[in-house]
Amino acid sequence: MKNKNPLYVVKGKDVLEANSLFDMVVKKFNLAPMIQILQNIFQILLEQVQNFAMFKVVKAIIDQIAQQIQELGKKFNSTFGV
């Protein structure tokens, strides 16, 4: 189904359609490589979980990264009013 009110990202001569606000931000600031790096880091960390103690360590690392991303998102929202 075609979106009645699509979002667009203009990058030079190219116009890209975005599926959501998050997708728009990713495309606008070319964050896809960074997201792929984060996914790879999470995958490597999760592969290390063999027991509950390691699970707690990995969870703490992932929680810290998530908190930093949330703080960055809040700064972005307050700066750009998105």
76: three-class secondary structure by DSSP: helix
Q: Which residue has the higher pLDDT, 13 or 4?
A: 13
pLDDT score recorded for residue 52: 96
Residue 44 structure tokens: 């490597």
Q: Which residue has the higher pLDDT, 28 or 55?
A: 55
20: three-class secondary structure by DSSP: coil
**pLDDT 10s digits, 53-71:** 999 999 999 999 999 989 9
Contact 45, 61 (CB under 8 A): yes
Cα(44)–Cα(58) distance, rounded to whole angstroms? 10
pLDDT score recorded for residue 39: 94
Domain ranges of the chain: 1-29, 31-82
